[in-house]
Amino acid sequence: MGTVPISRTTKDDLIRAKLYSEMHASKINPLTDEEPGKHFVVAQTTANIDFDGVGAMLSVWNLPAESLEAGWTDTINLNWYLQYDDNRTVIGWWPSRIFTNLGSTATGAEWGGEVFSPPNVPSPGMGSGHGIKLDTNYDAFFAQANIVVNNTIIKPPKDLKLFADSFNFDITNKEDVGGEPGYLILYGGVSGATGN
């Protein structure tokens, strides 16, 4: 048995959390004059159910990246986990009491990409940095995309709504293509989007 250190929340932590939530709110809203330079694509669930988690195998390309966001909650004790590989090996754990709005299940799930650049500066490419070619050898993708409900039931998502805020970027839902890729979502785009 060991202990898990939990840091205390400071004023700086709260400021960073507020900035983070404002930064990622753009996923479902169009760009505004206040947030130029932020671009995204997203495949978002439309089902009216509670989600305990979301998963996928991610392709990662050699492009600048700020963050990777993922999570899964245990509905018995409401703690959040980051898991890795087919065995669902836990590599990150956060007790629910440190979150103000994540103490239960989520009402939606999404897969996608974001890029950032200063206002009026051309954006970097998204995913692999080129338009979608419908080929996992070239496109960034989420393979074996799934949702977790009732804490243990893993199933593919259904009826995803697709968003792209710029003609430079795209996302495609291939659904279940069979074999190892399973449920497949492809995304990407070329650099050069500016402003809003």
| In contact, 163 and 109? CB cutoff 8 Å | no
Q: Is 152 exposed, middle or buried (0-12, 13-18, 19+ CB in 10 A)?
A: exposed
3-state SS string over the chain? CCCCCCCCCCHHHHHHHHHHHHHHHHHHCCCCCCCCCEEEEEEECCCCCCECEEEEEECCCCCCCCCCCCCEECCCCCCEEEEECCCCEEEEEECHHHCCCCCCCECCCEEEEEEECCCCCCCCCECCCCCCCCCCCCCEEEEEEEEEECCCEEECCCCCEEEECCCCEEEEEEEECCCCCCEEEEEEECCCCCCC
| Mean predicted confidence (pLDDT) in 9-33 | 59
Of residues 95 and 83, more confidence is placed in 95
pLDDT in tens, 38-59: 888 999 988 888 887 788 888 8
CB atoms within 10 A of CB 68: 8
Tokens of 62: 């050699």
User: For the chain, what percent of residues have pLDDT higher than 70?
Assistant: 69
In the chain, domain spans: 35-63+108-189
Tokens of 5: 């250190």
Tokens of 12: 């700086």
Q: In this model, does residue 6 exceed pLDDT 50? A: yes
Pairing label, strands 110-116, 89-94: unpaired
Q: In this model, does residue 95 exceed pLDDT 50? A: yes
Nearest CA to 65 out of 113, 25, 17 is that of 113
Average pLDDT of the chain, as a whole number: 77
Q: Is the dihedral of CA 185, 133, 63, 38 positive or negative?
A: negative
pLDDT in tens, 141-157: 998 888 888 777 788 88
